[in-house]
């Protein structure tokens, strides 16, 4: 696709359009010239004609859905930043599949596991593309963000290139690093103590987490893991770490800008033809692209400079650049692929960026939700702690080898993912051809959403779905399988998506959740603050979605205060000692030691 946000990456048509639009900006004196007024009227007229014209006979068989208004369809009925409660309400009303019209765009929403499995997995040949949001993808990401790439050659080459770094086999090799990084989490929580209760800490307007809050400790871990895999660099400090802040700022911005319906230009392609002076989103998108490239391009440049200085960092990007250079492509600037199929720099930078984005907040927020569920379900906390204490004992931390003996704990992680999926409505796919499902017509080009929230709240599949109940996945005396897909058989939840677009980092995510959370339960007591008036613990209400969870397409807990302390002096000693030992290991591996 020719992104119109970045001239480096443009096709001839797009460049010409941009040149004309720039010229128009220069010659425009009044706010809107008569030529532009005409262009706008023409745009609206063409859109209206398209709207009426595509009502063919087949469209009579569209799935049911709420009645919209002419031209805009259901656009104004969808709460842009927090759509999932409304989508669940419609799922209850219309059943396993419903249809919306967001401007000219058809949107099909799948609310049952069967429907999503059938389309995204069994018919994955033509349901594996993306309905990329125009501003977030074409402009802000110069059309290069892996997660939004259409199902084409660029996506296949980029995804394949990642298999050697985060696929099932290589992700096992990452375990020693996850093991060491998890020691740092325990040490940091211990040092943190009651700071986030004693100090007043306020989240920023776009979900910015104060660096002294305990959420930042968890985020450091998840970002450090993916940063090391992608760039061979740890995140070794939390405070005064501009990289870490910027990653989360870019991420928060991306989840808002990318939310379907955020910009009219996302819904009405015709508006994309407007000149810059009438398209403020384009100017905004280009600025955001430059701002993002300071980070993603900066990381790429750093590793290239190091290579020129003879420093090689064993990592996805390092290995890729080396292999590319060995094949004669040391320099490959710009977007897309070289003629012989190598990722050019911008596509490489945004492929690594997708891993950093996809792997950071999703995993961190699941850990934060887990602590929240434990605080609000003390009987579960007691049961899972008893299991860990019985299996692991006082003298050592849990290890990956303990997994088979901790079935209730694994069930708690799975129930956390089910009850509070971070990507609560999945990431939309796109129908590449006309299709029929359950007698309903699905037009080519429809955005197709796997409504994870509605599926996870299905009372037939998960009786009493709002209850946090790990027992639904637990069989006493038997190991709990992860059963998180992509196989459709015996799948227990849908947080990692479907089919060919299934999350590539699910193994890394599950291993991180296992090692960090088992160790926290083993070594650290955590408590919510007490309300002095009532004497009760103040725990955010998991059923109050607006109060407790952020909006955006990655919906995660808002910050909440917790006190941490070692469960025993002996455990405190083990935690401190293993943190020190980790420092020695980092040095052996040639990685930065922790600075506090
Ligand atoms: C609890 C943690 C995580 C959750 C809930 C999650 C969820 C998802 C979802 C829903 C998708 C889209 C699937 C679809 O389109 O059907 C996805 C894609 C992806 N995830 Fe994850 N993810 C997590 C952790 C990770 C980690 C740790 C990594 C990397 C190490 C990662 C890498 C990716 C990549 C590269 C994609 C893009 C796939 C594509 O578009 O082709 N994810 N993830």
Q: How many CB atoms lie within 10 A of CB 532?
A: 6
Give the mean pLDDT of 318-346.
Answer: 97
Q: Identify the pLDDT of residue 400.
A: 98
48 or 430, which is more confident?
A: 430
What are the residues whose beta carbons fall under 8 Å from the beta carbon of 426, sequence distance 6 or more?
Answer: 449, 450, 451, 452, 494, 497, 498
- Tell me the average pLDDT of the chain: 90
Q: Take atom 18 of ligand 1 and give the residue whose Cα is closest.
A: 503
**CA–CA dist 559, 357 (Å, integer):** 19
Q: What is the full DSSP assignment across 76-132?
A: GGS-SS--HHHHHHHHHHH-SEEEEEETTEEEEEE-SHHHHIIIIIITTTSS-EE--
pLDDT in tens, 456-474: 999 999 999 999 999 999 9
To the question of whether residue 503 is assigned a binding role by annotation, the answer is yes
Coil vs helix vs strand at 488? coil
383 or 60, which is more confident?
A: 383
Helix or strand (DSSP H, E) at 223: helix 214-231
Phi and psi torsions of 591, nearest 5°? -110, 160
Q: Identify the pLDDT of residue 21.
A: 41
Phi and psi torsions of 582, nearest 5°? -60, -35
Q: How far is the CA of 358 from the centre of ligand 1 (A)?
A: 5
User: Could you tell me which CATH class the domain 153-589 is placed in?
Assistant: mainly alpha
Around ligand 1, the residues with Cβ closer than 6 Å are 146-147, 159, 166, 226, 354-355, 358-359, 362-363, 366, 422-423, 426-427, 495-498, 501-505, 508-509
Q: How far is the CA of 331 from the centre of ligand 1 (A)?
A: 29
pLDDT in tens, 107-137: 999 999 999 999 999 999 999 999 889 999 9
Residue 47's pLDDT band, with cuts at 50, 70 and 90, is: low
Which atom of ligand 1 approaches the CA of 498 most closely? 16
Spatial contact of 98 and 64, defined as CB atoms under 8 Å apart: yes
User: At residue 243, does pLDDT exceed 50?
Assistant: yes
Strands 429-430 and 447-450: antiparallel
Tell if the pTM clears 0.85, that is, is over it: yes
Residue 90's pLDDT band, with cuts at 50, 70 and 90, is: very high
**CA–CA dist 18, 305 (Å, integer):** 33
Give the mean pLDDT of 538-564.
Answer: 92
Q: Take atom 31 of ligand 1 and give the residue whose Cα is closest.
A: 505
User: At residue 496, does pLDDT exceed 80?
Assistant: yes
| Rounded alpha-carbon distances, angstroms, from residue 397 to 257, 364, 516, 571 | 41, 21, 10, 9
**CA–CA dist 161, 348 (Å, integer):** 10
User: At residue 16, does pLDDT exceed 80?
Assistant: no
Spatial contact of 557 and 369, defined as CB atoms under 8 Å apart: yes
| Rounded alpha-carbon distances, angstroms, from residue 163 to 20, 242, 312, 320 | 42, 29, 21, 12
pLDDT in tens, 144-154: 999 999 999 99
**CA–CA dist 171, 410 (Å, integer):** 19
* Top mutation candidate among 482, 493, 505 for ligand 1, by most atoms within 8 Å of CB: 505
Which atom of ligand 1 approaches the CA of 147 most closely? 40
Give the mean pLDDT of 279-301.
Answer: 96
**CA–CA dist 354, 305 (Å, integer):** 22
Give the mean pLDDT of 415-431.
Answer: 96
Burial class of residue 173, CB neighbours in 10 A (0-12, 13-18, 19+)? exposed
Q: Identify the pLDDT of residue 29.
A: 33
Q: Identify the pLDDT of residue 78.
A: 92
Residue 24's pLDDT band, with cuts at 50, 70 and 90, is: very low
User: At residue 242, does pLDDT exceed 90?
Assistant: no
Domain ranges in the chain?
A: 153-589
46 or 157, which is more confident?
A: 157
Spatial contact of 317 and 230, defined as CB atoms under 8 Å apart: yes
Which atom of ligand 1 approaches the CA of 148 most closely? 40
């Amino acid at each position: 696709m020719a992104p119109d946000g970045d001239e480096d990456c443009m096709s001839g048509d797009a460049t010409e359009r941009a040149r004309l639009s720039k010229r128009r900006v220069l010659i425009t004196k009044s706010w809107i010239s008569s030529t532009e007024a005409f262009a706008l009227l023409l745009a609206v007229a063409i859109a209206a004609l398209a709207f009426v014209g595509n009502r063919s006979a087949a469209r009579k068989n569209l799935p049911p859905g709420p009645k919209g208004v002419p031209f805009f369809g259901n656009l104004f009925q969808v709460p842009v930043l927090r759509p999932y409660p409304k989508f669940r309400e419609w799922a209850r009303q219309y059943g396993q599949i419903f249809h919306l019209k967001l401007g000219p765009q058809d949107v099909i929403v799948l609310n049952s596991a069967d429907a999503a499995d059938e389309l995204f997995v069994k018919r994955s040949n033509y349901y594996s593309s993306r309905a990329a949001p125009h501003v977030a993808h074409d402009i802000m990401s110069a059309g290069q963000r892996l997660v939004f790439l259409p199902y084409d050659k660029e996506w296949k080459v980029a995804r394949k290139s990642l298999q050697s770094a985060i696929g099932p086999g290589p992700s096992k090799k990452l375990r020693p690093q996850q093991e060491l990084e998890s020691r740092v989490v325990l040490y940091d929580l211990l040092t943190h103590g009651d700071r986030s209760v004693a100090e007043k800490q306020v989240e920023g307007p776009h979900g910015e987490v104060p660096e002294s809050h305990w959420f930042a400790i968890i985020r450091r871990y998840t970002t450090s893991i993916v940063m090391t895999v992608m760039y061979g660099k740890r995140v070794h400090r939390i405070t005064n770490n501009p990289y870490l802040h910027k990653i989360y700022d870019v991420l928060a911005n991306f989840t808002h800008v990318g939310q379907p319906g955020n910009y009219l230009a996302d819904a009405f392609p015709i508006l994309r033809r407007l000149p810059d002076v009438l398209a403020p989103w384009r100017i905004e998108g280009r600025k955001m692209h430059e701002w993002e490239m300071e980070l993603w391009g900066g990381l790429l440049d750093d590793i290239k400079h190091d290579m020129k200085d003879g420093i090689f960092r064993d990592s996805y990007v390092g290995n890729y650049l080396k292999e590319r250079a060995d094949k004669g492509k040391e320099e490959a600037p710009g977007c897309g692929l070289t003629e012989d199929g190598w990722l050019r720099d911008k596509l490489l930078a945004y492929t690594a960026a997708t891993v950093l984005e996809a792997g950071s907040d999703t995993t961190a927020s699941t850990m934060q939700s887990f602590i929240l569920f434990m605080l609000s379900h003390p009987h579960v906390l007691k049961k899972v702690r008893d299991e860990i204490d019985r299996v692991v004992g006082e003298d050592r931390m849990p290890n990956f080898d303990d997994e088979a003996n901790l079935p209730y704990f694994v069930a708690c992680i799975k129930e956390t993912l089910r009850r509070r999926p971070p990507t609560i409505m999945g990431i939309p796919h796109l129908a590449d051809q006309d299709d029929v499902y359950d007698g309903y017509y699905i037009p080519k080009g429809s955005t197709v959403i796997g409504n994870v929230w509605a599926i996870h709240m299905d009372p037939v599949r998960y009786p009493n779905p709002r209850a946090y109940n790990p027992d639904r996945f637990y069989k006493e005396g038997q190991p709990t399988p992860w059963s998180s897909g992509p196989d459709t058989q015996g799948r227990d939840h849908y947080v990692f998506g479907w089919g060919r677009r299934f999350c590539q980092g699910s193994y890394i995510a599950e291993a991180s959740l296992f090692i960090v959370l088992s160790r926290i339960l083993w070594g650290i007591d955590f408590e919510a603050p007490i309300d002095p008036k009532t004497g009760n613990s103040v725990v955010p209400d998991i059923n109050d979605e607006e109060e407790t969870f952020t909006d955006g397409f990655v919906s995660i807990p808002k910050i909440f205060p917790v006190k941490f302390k070692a469960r025993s002096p002996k455990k405190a000693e083990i935690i401190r000692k293993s943190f020190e030992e980790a420092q020695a290991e980092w040095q052996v591996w040639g990685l930065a030691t922790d600075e506090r």
